[in-house]
Amino acid sequence: MKILIVAYHFYPDVTPRSFRAFELVKELGREGHDVKVLLPKSDFNFQEICKKYNFSIDFVDYYKTLQNSLETKNKIKNNSNFININIMKVIKNFYYCIFPSGRATQFYFYAVYKKLIHYNEHFDMIISIATPYDTHMGIALAMLKKKNLFQSGVKVADYGDPLYKNPALPSCFLYYWIDKFISSKFDYVTVPTETAISIFETFKNKKNIKLIPQGFDFSNVKRAEYVKNKTITFAYAGIFYEDIRNPKPLLDFLLSLDRKGIDFRFVIYTKINNINNMNLLNKYQNELKKKLCINASIPREDVIYELSKMDFLINIDNLSESQTPSKLIDYALTKRPIFSFNQLNFSDTKFMNFINAQYSDSTVIDLDKFDIKKISNQFVQLGKKLNDDK
């Protein structure tokens, strides 16, 4: 099959959606499909990667920035004393209603649209990978403008969460109509977890909503030989969010353990240049000092190896109906016990069981269904099924 994949996050990004796109591209290329990836311009040289994994790249005229508007965020923060906090909240909510993906990607949908309306290639399948939602919107607008664009190809919108009823975003009436418009332009909507299906049934016939989990290549996973640490050591890898993935209950409890003289070491791999992320950690780092070890994010293969040295791992479930942290798959690959909680449901007793090496409540993950070979086949079968239906 000739397949076009449109994404924003891709290798060498260290994000779940980057893994989603890159692992799928690699496997489709390995299987002999003709794969082209449409990405924003960046300074990374993809030549060696494309040759190694048998795919090609085309660039959207949109330069990807890693700055994430840090200067703007700092200016707003520094001047917040002069601006009524309620006014700031209204401005923020209005902004995210118009640009739900945030400032760093706010016009990517238009760049994708401008690129695609000039495309004349035929593709058997088009897979749009969010987030940001701009990938879906850019394709949908291009198809609205150019009626014959991708007309004979199978069009798939791969979501994490929808905009509509997303707890990570402010409530906005536009989200319903955005998701409805996008869903109408794609043959299928794919989601990584079963709980997401019911939300998308608001916009799409259930037979056209498909569950396709996150896919991973398990063949090159490297683990350290585990040896129990002299000081109980546990770890978390990923980013934190105040509204849906807040570490406060755990960190508050760790402070209480520290005051009781209980020794431990909590290792975190996260985005240290993300202001909101670090604001959730700074207070605790000052108090816990060496007991809280905060590191910058590292490549997926490396973090799996480092996590496999830990006594156990920390998973914070999202406060969301439709999203399961993809880090759980990586955690399972480490073969270490997993302590799971969400910010509204933290058990001191269960956590102390883990501190005492009692892991009966460890989260169990069935890795078999996340094998990238199966995931790739599920996408390919969507094209074959639609053609059979026709």
Task: Look up the CATH number of the domain holding residue 298.
Answer: 3.40.50.2000
Tell me the mean pLDDT in the region 65-90: 45
Given this model, what pLDDT does residue 211 score?
92
Q: How far is CA 115 from CA 17, 45, 108, 123, in A?
A: 22, 21, 11, 15
Q: Has residue 276 been placed in a domain?
A: yes
- Tokens (6 digits) for 99: 């640009």
Catalogue the E-assigned strands of the chain. Answer: 2-6, 34-41, 56-63, 125-129, 154-158, 188-191, 209-211, 233-237, 265-270, 292-296, 312-316, 338-341
252 and 335 in a single domain? The answer is yes
pLDDT of residue 189 exceeding 90, the answer is: yes
Per DSSP, the three-state class of 28 is: helix
Name the nearest CA neighbour of 229 among 346, 309, 326, 330: 309
Question: What pLDDT is attached to residue 244?
Answer: 80
User: Do residues 379 and 315 share a domain?
Assistant: no
Residues 169 and 282 in one domain: no
Average confidence (pLDDT) over 277-283: 91
pLDDT at residue 86 in the model:
54
Return mean pLDDT, the chain: 86
| One domain, residues 144 and 264 | no
The answer on 44 and 122 residing in a single domain is yes
Count up the domains in the chain and report the number: 2
Q: What is the pLDDT, as a whole number, of residue 321? A: 47
What is the pLDDT at residue 9?
92
How far the first Cα of the chain sits from its last, in Å, is: 17
Instruction: Say if 170 falls within a structural domain.
Output: yes
- Provide DSSP, 335-362: T--EEEEBTTB--HHHHHHHHTT--TT-
Asked if pLDDT for residue 196 goes beyond 80, the answer is no
Domain that includes residue 313, residue range: 233-367
**Are residues 136 and 28 both part of a single domain?**
yes
pLDDT at 318: 76
Residue 87 counted as domain residue: no
Question: Is there a single domain that holds both residue 51 and residue 154?
Answer: yes
Q: Is pLDDT above 80 for 303? A: yes
In this structure, the chain runs to a length of 390
Using alpha carbons, select from 167, 210, 157, 212 the residue that is nearest to residue 326: 212
- Which residues neighbour 155 within 8 Å (Cβ) at sequence distance 6 or greater? 125, 126, 128, 139, 143, 185, 186, 187, 188
Q: Is residue 127 very low, low, confident or very high in pLDDT (cuts 50, 70, 90)?
A: very high
Tokens 């449409």 locate to 38
Is 96 part of a structural domain of the chain?
Answer: no
**Quick one: pLDDT at residue 351?**
97
Encoded tokens for 297? 């994010």
Both 255 and 278 in one domain: the answer is yes
283 and 356 both lie in a single domain: yes
Q: Are 258 and 303 members of one domain? A: yes
pLDDT mean over 182-199 = 88
Confirm whether 151 is domain-assigned.
yes
Band (320; pLDDT cuts 50, 70, 90): low
Whether residue 82 lies inside any domain: the answer is no
Does any domain span residue 226? no
**Within-domain flag for 225:** no
pLDDT at 216 over 50: yes
**Distance between CA atoms of 72 and 117, rounded to whole angstroms?**
33
pLDDT in tens, 330-385: 899 999 999 999 888 999 999 999 999 999 999 998 888 899 999 999 999 997 76
Residue pLDDT, tens place only, 9-58: 999 987 888 989 999 999 999 999 999 999 999 889 999 999 999 999 99
pLDDT at position 157: 96
Statement to judge: residues 281 and 361 lie in one domain? yes
pLDDT for the residue 79: 47
Per-residue confidence (pLDDT) for residue 257, from 0 to 100 = 97
From the number of C-beta atoms within 10 Å of its C-beta (0-12, 13-18, 19+), residue 286 rates as exposed
241 and 211 belong to one structural domain: no
